Amino acid sequence: MNRLVIAKFGGSAIGVDGISIPIILQRINELKRSSKVIAIFSAPLTIHGGEKRSLTDIALELGKKAEKGQTVSVDEIKRVYEKILELVGDNYQVECKNIINTFLEKSKASLDVAKQKGEFTDEVRSKTLAFTGEILISKVMDYIMKSQGIKSAFVDFDIWPIITDHNIESTNFLASESFERLEPLEKLLKENDVISIGGFIGKTKDGIMTTYERGGSDRTAADLGILFHKKYETTIDFEKDSSVVSADPKIVTENLDEIKQISYNEARLAGMFGMKILDPIAIKEILEHGVDMSIIITDMKNPRKTTIIKRRPDEKNGHPLKIVTGKKNCAILRIENAAAQRLLESLENDKRYSEFIILSPFTKDGIEFARVLFLDADYVKRNEKYILGFDSLATIAYNRGVITLIGDEMWKVQQVASKTSSKIGEAGLNILNMDAQEETSRIIIVIEDAGNNIERAIKAVHAERVIINKSKV
């Protein structure tokens, strides 16, 4: 069976105004020596308002202005692509420049429709984002690769392989329908060494452009892995600015361990609770389709540093406490148990929302109540009336943050919960809730989200991590 690497390059990998594209080309050349390559690209970054921003964010801002009736320009986005155009060979310069202009004209046309209708939604939104971001950069990258002598091809929207439902702005992958439309992509892959495709974008059966939620390019990689894993020996490779370490290096700067292997489950939990390894929905989709393939997190600038994500890692003697992470801006709903069941079913089936965790219940006055931890308090605020409508006595506590300890073998460690809570207390922080169930892969500690509380708690727990690991049975 031939090998296939599905390599995903996010906005951070591309860099500001495409500054890291030469490194991407080097990685693609390395990968294609032994494999076919599907290269997935996210929207590039730029400097906007003095900060690094994705072109997706800028396009969203333009869309909001347009729906308010303002006239907007895509000139800032055009400037980014003109800078990237410098990497295209002379023989492709004119052709690529024309493509950039054409795609940005399509994006501007969508923004004009948003201004006319007074709403930036559905396919208007999808087209704006795609033609300024993922689809455009993947086309430009195809020209850059061709300029370097790489036998490559671009996946046009006419043969788009990711078929989705009609939830235009938060769509869902339809595997069986995608399998039925895979033949043109298979042919393209056989004829080339590398094919370039935009992440984040989907297509309904009747040709409407859709988008995943933010971070959805990870899901594109997972979906393509699902589609090709029986046809090729398939690996998914997420090219990032570091492999996985034991805590966020922006918070913890000392005694970080490189994590060589983690399970699907550990990666999913880390993604849910604040560690940006990959989109947890991507892992969920792979599991739901019964696929078992290696996922690699690669430090793009130092490819020897990798983390392998497997259903069942080979490493049996690693740290039981693998990752300490934290998430701000959470909320906790306290709701009568029967009402909670109705709410959660509605959230999953009607709202297509799954960023919540069921914590340990409690009983008051003979009535059993559920605690639901929402990992996005802004979502709760926007939908507060809807959520509280399921139980008039339900209450919501905002300004909550969570510290999460992650490790499939962590349950074997004696007194890990008590030792952890003690260290958080020594850091001067008050624990509001702790959820540590038997044989769990995660321990959740809830504290007040104020000031630098989350950072202090992460540092306190991580500093104790070595000692905790030594106490394993």
* pLDDT tens digits along 42-83: 999 999 989 999 999 999 999 999 999 999 999 999 999 999
Domain shared by 182 and 33, yes or no:
yes
Query: Which of 240, 272, 291 represents a domain boundary (last residue)?
Result: 240
Domain shared by 355 and 222, yes or no:
no
pTM of the model: 0.90
CATH number at 53 reads 3.40.1160.10
pLDDT band at 469 (very low <50, low <70, confident <90, very high): low
Strands 367-374 and 323-336: antiparallel
Q: Give me the pLDDT at residue 117, please.
A: 95
Domain shared by 70 and 183, yes or no:
yes
Q: Give me the pLDDT at residue 162, please.
A: 97
> Which amino acid, 161?
P
What percent of the chain clears pLDDT 90, i.e. is strictly above it? 76
Dig out the tokens for 105 from the structure. Answer: 């004209």
Q: Which helix (H) or strand (E) holds 402?
A: strand 395-406
- Please check whether residue 318 lies inside any domain of the structure: no
Query: Which segments of 322-390 does DSSP mark as H helices, in order?
Result: 337-349, 377-382, 384-388
Q: Give me the pLDDT at residue 317, please.
A: 59
Dig out the tokens for 377 from the structure. Answer: 């308090």
Domain shared by 14 and 152, yes or no:
yes
Domain shared by 342 and 214, yes or no:
no
Domain shared by 57 and 161, yes or no:
yes
* pLDDT tens digits along 311-357: 888 766 567 889 999 999 999 999 999 999 999 999 988 777 888 99
How far is it, in rounded angstroms, from Cα 172 to Cα 282? 11
- Please check whether residue 275 lies inside any domain of the structure: no
> Which one is predicted more confidently, 318 or 450?
450
Least confident range from 15-19, 150-154, 223-227, 389-393: namely 389-393
327, 404 contact by CB (below 8 A): yes
- Please check whether residue 387 lies inside any domain of the structure: yes
CA dihedral in degrees (82, 83, 84, 88; nearest 10)?
70
Least confident range from 133-142, 154-163, 265-274: namely 265-274
Query: Which of 240, 258, 280 represents a domain boundary (last residue)?
Result: 240
Dig out the tokens for 94 from the structure. Answer: 């004119």
- Please check whether residue 266 lies inside any domain of the structure: no
Query: Which of 240, 272, 307 represents a domain boundary (last residue)?
Result: 240
Domain shared by 340 and 466, yes or no:
yes
281: pLDDT strictly greater than 50: yes
Domain shared by 206 and 329, yes or no:
no
Domain shared by 341 and 461, yes or no:
yes
Domain shared by 348 and 225, yes or no:
no
Size of the chain, expressed as the number of residues it contains: 473
Provide the residue range defining the domain that includes 52: 3-240
435, 441 contact by CB (below 8 A): no
* pLDDT tens digits along 175-206: 999 999 999 999 999 999 999 999 999 999 99
Number of separate domains in the chain? 2
- Please check whether residue 368 lies inside any domain of the structure: yes
- Please check whether residue 342 lies inside any domain of the structure: yes
Q: Give me the pLDDT at residue 363, please.
A: 84
- Please check whether residue 308 lies inside any domain of the structure: no
How far is it, in rounded angstroms, from Cα 333 to Cα 353? 15
CATH number at 334 reads 3.30.2130.10
* pLDDT tens digits along 146-171: 999 999 999 999 999 999 999 888 88
> Which one is predicted more confidently, 453 or 354?
453
Domain shared by 236 and 327, yes or no:
no
380: pLDDT strictly greater than 50: yes
Domain shared by 192 and 335, yes or no:
no
How far is it, in rounded angstroms, from Cα 360 to Cα 329? 20
- Please check whether residue 63 lies inside any domain of the structure: yes
Strands 295-299 and 233-240: parallel
Dig out the tokens for 73 from the structure. Answer: 């320009």
Nearest to 424 by CA among 397, 398, 405, 396: 405
Q: Give me the pLDDT at residue 27, please.
A: 97
